[in-house]
Amino acid sequence: MTGPEKETLTGKILNPADLVAYQGGSIVSRMLVYKKSGTITLFAFDAGEGLSEHTAPYDAILTVLDGEATVTIAGAEHLLKAGELIIMPANIPHAVKATDRFKMMLTMIHE
């Protein structure tokens, strides 16, 4: 995100689900915050789309804004719906799969 876009969001009341749009057959992302201490990124997944299993060096909080998704952490599946969140611990394999179209906010906490 460029400087002017950040300025237009700063100090405003925002609905995060409105800041990223669905696109057929795709995953769309928009980074809102990128700091040394962490990041906040919005995602919109079309039904059936997902992020394959991977690890991250930081704890991550996945908050579902719209729809439903299956989040797998260390082989355990969790069905999440709008308004729910899950904490994915650092260095543990995890994956995300849209069971329906869904939007999420991912907050990464850097140490």
- The pLDDT, as a whole number, for residue 7 is 53
Residue 88 corresponds to which amino acid? Answer: M
> What does the H/E/C string look like for 64-91?
EEEEEEEEEECCEEEEEECCCEEEECCC
List per-block mean pLDDT (blocks of 10 residues) for the chain, which spans 111 residues.
Answer: 58 94 97 93 97 95 98 98 97 97 96 76
Compute the Cα dihedral for 90, 91, 92, 94 and give only its sign: positive
- The pLDDT, as a whole number, for residue 4 is 45
- Domain 3-109 falls under CATH 1.20.120.420: no
> Residue 18, Cα to own-chain centre: how many angstroms?
14
Stated pTM of the model: 0.89
Domain ranges of the chain: 3-109
